[in-house]
Chain A
């Protein structure tokens, strides 16, 4: 079981370039990264992640920023200008769960981050963790979702009473950008196939444009196989045999649904890391679950998602052996079936944090 798990992880990592190998072990100058602990259970799990990274000797120096209590007029939200500047400078960030304050007159926190940092792609690697058994054992895919336009443009209006129109916008620029990133990612991580998911048989011009852009980019990467799959086929194939897919690239709405579907295949949002890529190589990893205020401060939150998201930052920075170590440790810990970490939905009240930390640190240091 352990060896097959290890094999799976090795396959996940793919073929690393020699340059990456050169960077992997010795990196003396610490890399600065912005950390948003967030609300609710955020600060605890952020603390866990910091400790685990320290135990693994990860050369990252964290710069913490908190959500303000007042609206910053420069950003029109509770995130301060300084926080955003810090991410822009450091180029990498890790974000814990943030509760959006209710009310008007300010933008939602996620929207602010997305617009200000121009985060155009959302990357979610989904792989079956050996140690957490679901009905699907061989999931190993990455979903890349266009994050800025599509059906989520927010442009709706009521034409007459009882008739509402909502606009879906697809632009060549955004589609090219996300397709470029998808193929670049596939090449970097040794992936063999990129599948574009669409509904161009019905939405001929909009999804047709998306597909055209994907095809153009595919021509520049001749050694990566490219295919197009209609979304109904994709859904069906995913639930029957997820091993058929490798990297998926999609417009906004389909991406939202498919990435959550894939998260469900491996065990839920409690196990899925997520990383947002912005213009200029900015990477902001986040925990996609909620802030669970009811278990905050009780030392029972599950840091796995934030930990795995942190690991994806390390991969983005081409530090490849540390992610292996940490990932192996958390998989081993899962595999040992420790009662501390059985249910991976954040809402569960299982005392897991301190024990898990201890066990992971133990494995990491060995």
Chain B
């Protein structure tokens, strides 16, 4: 009798813990007939640790019997262009999951990541940086979403040598792109019940360029009176991020600042190995590890197979929600969070000793 009550007690406790970590949905999701048909997702393993972590996602999806099937395409960072068949596949499937593509530094090849975004007009890049329970960090109460303009700004790639020894690079800002990213940011905040949108800029120095960005943000802000809007200069923003990150909610930024702010926010919330993110445009969405730092990893990680799959797993949960499979997304997210909070299977960047495979097995074991 004592044994049975202890067992019952522990089941109840497990249920409470499950509920606390958020596996229950209160009101059910009613799909349309036929929504359960498997969806195709283009999969680009990429370079470095990319193949390891995308393999992890494939294994977990299989274990969950999720209604997605992957179409793999090999793309590597040293190719000149993204192959046309890959673009065709993404256009057909509308959704893609990818590992990092290594961009050679200083070489003549333009970044394939940037090319992909421009071809598919994925104009918004989203990174969600939040504290995971069980992962010790210096900062607490962090829950920041960085929405970054993905197509223009400093990454226009327009550079030329004026005379030997003097090089110019053009930063192009257009009202069209600034407006649509501002609209996306406010719409995201509205749909996700976020309270504040902060625009990050350097308009005291770059008066016309960032001034244009700010103007667009202000115009869109007037259409969402229930969402608070404020502006912050990028250097002050970075300083505040490392001292008081809890005051930030949704941040909308032009291209370069977004890169820095997203990586800083990812670093303070637990590292780039755990932050999910994606790129979205009018017609397509590409999901990948949130922050760009370390998404290719280094050789040691690849050799010892110790890459952290958590970021890509959480991004694939985002993808499942995007594809309207919320219950699969919830199950995956809950399993991953449980593994992290238990703390037994963590890769090196989180202070543990597990390999990628061990983490994957732990996640699969924790799936309801």
Contacts and interface: CB of A to CB of B under 8 A. Distances in A.
Nearest to B271: A240
Given A151-B171, A202-B157, A232 B165 contact: no
Chain A CB within 10 Å, residue with most, of B110, B165, B291: B165
B95 interface: no
A101 B161 CA distance: 38
A100 to B, nearest CB: 11
Interface residues of A, number: 56
Nearest to B172: A165
B154 interface: yes
Contacts of B114: 202
B159 interface: yes
Contacts of A211: 106
A260 B238 contact: yes
Interface in B90-148: 103-108, 110-111, 114, 138-139
A166 B171 contact: yes
Contacts of B241: 239, 261, 264
A134 B176 CA distance: 42
A210 to B, nearest CB: 9
A154 B205 contact: yes
B267 A173 contact: no
B273 to A, nearest CB: 10
B contact face: mostly helix, strand, loop, or mixed: mixed
Nearest to B234: A257
Nearest to B259: A232
B267 A236 contact: yes
A163 B260 contact: no
B168 A167 contact: yes
**Looking at A202, A233, A260, which has the most chain B CB atoms within 10 Å of its CB?**
A202
A134 B242 CA distance: 10
Interface stretch (B14-22, B32-40, B206-214, B314-322): B206-214
Contacts of A235: 238, 260, 263-264, 267, 293
Contact of A204 (B106, B166, B170, B209): B106
B105 to A, nearest CB: 5
A104 interface: no
A14 interface: no
A268 interface: yes
A26 interface: no
Contacts, number: 181
B342 interface: no
B172 A261 contact: no
A156 B159 contact: no
A135 B139 contact: yes
A158 B208 CA distance: 8
Nearest to A210: B167
A261 B174 CA distance: 28
B74 interface: no
Contacts of A233: 263, 293-294
A192 to B, nearest CB: 22
B300 interface: no
Contact of A232 (B110, B160, B172, B292): B292
25 contacts: A134-B243, A135-B243, A152-B205, A157-B208, A163-B173, A164-B208, A164-B209, A164-B211, A169-B166, A169-B169, A170-B166, A171-B166, A171-B167, A201-B104, A202-B111, A203-B155, A206-B167, A206-B169, A230-B105, A230-B293, A231-B259, A236-B264, A236-B266, A264-B241, A268-B243
Given A233-B293, A268-B239, 17 more contacts: A151-B171, A156-B208, A162-B175, A163-B173, A163-B174, A165-B171, A166-B208, A168-B171, A171-B165, A172-B164, A200-B106, A209-B165, A230-B293, A235-B263, A257-B234, A258-B238, A264-B240
Interface of B: 103-108, 110-111, 114, 138-139, 154-155, 157, 159-161, 164-176, 202, 205-209, 211-212, 234-236, 238-243, 256-257, 259-260, 263-264, 266-268, 271-272, 291-294
| Minimum-distance CB pairs A-B, first 8 | A264-B239, A162-B175, A172-B165, A260-B235, A239-B267, A236-B267, A205-B159, A166-B209
